Amino acid sequence: MQPTTPARRRLAVLSLAAGALCVLGSGLAQAQTPAYRAEYRLSTTLGTAFPWGQAGERWIELVKEKTQGRINIKLYSGNSLVGGDQTREFTAIRQGVIDMSIGSTINWSPQIKELNLFSLPFLMPDYKAMDVLTQGEVGKELFAVLEKRDVIPLAWGENGFRELSNSKRPVATPADLKGMKFRVVGSPLYNETFTALGANPTQMSWADAQPALASGAVDGQENPLSVFVGAKLPTVGQKHLTLWHYVADPLIFVVNKNVWNSWTPADREAVKQAALQAGRENVEKARKGIAGTDNAVLKQIEAAGVTVTRLTPEQRAAFVQATRPVYDKWSRQIGADLVKKAEAAIARR
């Protein structure tokens, strides 16, 4: 056995110190990387009887698959994490009460004024117009706005064009709406649009809307056809339906910023790709039986004894004219440049 020299002793001390630093560095890295939660909370307004809630189910399934089970999510529909108040959802996402959401541009518009773009009356005449906005430069600009508000937007989905129904009479002109009470979502823009048409708008959550329709407390409502069918609205007196495509309701897949930053880059990409796939599938499902030449849903609605009114171009023009003051006022609030960019994109479609 060789005697220990001063040089050997110094080398041994340095080796031990290096090893201690490695252990300490590893411990610090682990302390700085938040542990994944056992479960994350995903909020939607509608449940799994509707394409919206089904999109939530699909995102959950795809995330679990693409992250090999590292990220597990539970669906909370009916905006149950905010007591059913749809308009509080976006604030709850920013605060971390909600981890993830597939949210409506309408519900989030009280906090994000630019999202009112999709609620400008009669801006988008068809599905192609909606697509050029969500999938083009306008959609990118809106995502950039959201990113500044502590959420990470990943993909677009769709609830659909909102059509009009009521229990009283067919609606083909603005005058037909006079005096009728309509349930609308909690947005001032909807109040002003229906007031301009001579109707009496009443804001309430969707949970309260169906009992109100059944009791006659309100005469009508506006929602995509998938909701009209899924909620069985003909059974609560909604016997008159007008196809007017007056506004649309895109959905946005988002994650709370802090939650997003707690995941590895690989898992972030997996969650994003899952959102993009679920979004594409959701849009396809939301339009099935409605868009283009596929009218299976309309046939189902008419078979339930509902009178369907399809507006002629001249009839639609009368609604456009009646709501133009509202359009102009809200264009300024949303941002004139953004609205002009949207109008130009639609004109080029």
pLDDT digits (tens, 9 = 90+) for 196-223: 999 999 999 888 999 999 999 999 999 9
- Decide if pLDDT at 75 tops 50: yes
Give the separation between CA 158 and CA 206, rounded to whole angstroms: 17
Give the separation between CA 274 and CA 267, rounded to whole angstroms: 10
Give the separation between CA 79 and CA 103, rounded to whole angstroms: 10
| Residues of the chain above pLDDT 70, percent | 90
pLDDT attached to residue 17:
46
Q: Is residue 112 part of a domain?
A: yes
Query: Cβ(266)–Cβ(253) under 8 Å?
Result: no
- Decide if pLDDT at 186 tops 90: no
SS3 for 215? Answer: helix
Average pLDDT on 279-292 reads 94
- Decide if pLDDT at 23 tops 60: no
Q: Is residue 29 part of a domain?
A: no
- Decide if pLDDT at 8 tops 60: no
pLDDT digits (tens, 9 = 90+) for 25-46: 444 434 344 689 999 999 999 9
Q: Is residue 311 part of a domain?
A: yes
pLDDT attached to residue 155:
98
Compute CA 276 distance to the chain's CA centroid, rounded to the nearest angstrom.
13
Q: Is residue 2 part of a domain?
A: no
- When divided into structural domains, the chain yields a total of 1
- Decide if pLDDT at 152 tops 50: yes
| Residues of the chain above pLDDT 90, percent | 86
Residue among 58, 56, 62 at smallest CA distance from 43:
56
- Decide if pLDDT at 137 tops 80: yes
Average pLDDT on 106-129 reads 96
State the Rg of the chain over Cα.
26
Q: What is the largest CA-CA distance in the chain?
A: 107
Residue 284: which domain range?
Answer: 36-348
Indicate the DSSP class of residue 78. Answer: T
Q: Is residue 17 part of a domain?
A: no
pLDDT digits (tens, 9 = 90+) for 255-282: 999 999 999 999 999 999 999 999 999 9
Q: Is residue 11 part of a domain?
A: no
The amino acid present at 227, given as its one-letter code, is V
- Decide if pLDDT at 11 tops 50: no
- Decide if pLDDT at 89 tops 80: yes
pLDDT attached to residue 292:
84
Residue among 126, 49, 104, 125 at smallest CA distance from 291:
126
Query: What's the token pair of residue 32?
Result: 């700085």
pLDDT digits (tens, 9 = 90+) for 313-348: 999 999 999 999 999 999 999 999 999 999 999 999
Residue among 97, 223, 116, 237 at smallest CA distance from 164:
223
User: Strand 73-76 to strand 240-256: parallel, antiparallel, or no bridges (unpaired)?
Assistant: unpaired
Query: Cβ(178)–Cβ(200) under 8 Å?
Result: no
- Decide if pLDDT at 103 tops 90: yes
Q: Is residue 136 part of a domain?
A: yes
**Which uninterrupted H or E stretch holds 221?**
strand 220-223
Confidence of residue 10 (pLDDT cuts 50, 70, 90): low
SS3 for 346? Answer: helix
Average pLDDT on 62-76 reads 98
- Decide if pLDDT at 169 tops 70: yes
What is the domain-level CATH number for residue 192? 3.40.190.170
Report how far apart, in Å, the C-alpha atoms of 162 and of each of 129, 218, 242 are: 15, 17, 10
User: Strand 151-166 to strand 240-256: parallel, antiparallel, or no bridges (unpaired)?
Assistant: antiparallel
Q: Is residue 21 part of a domain?
A: no
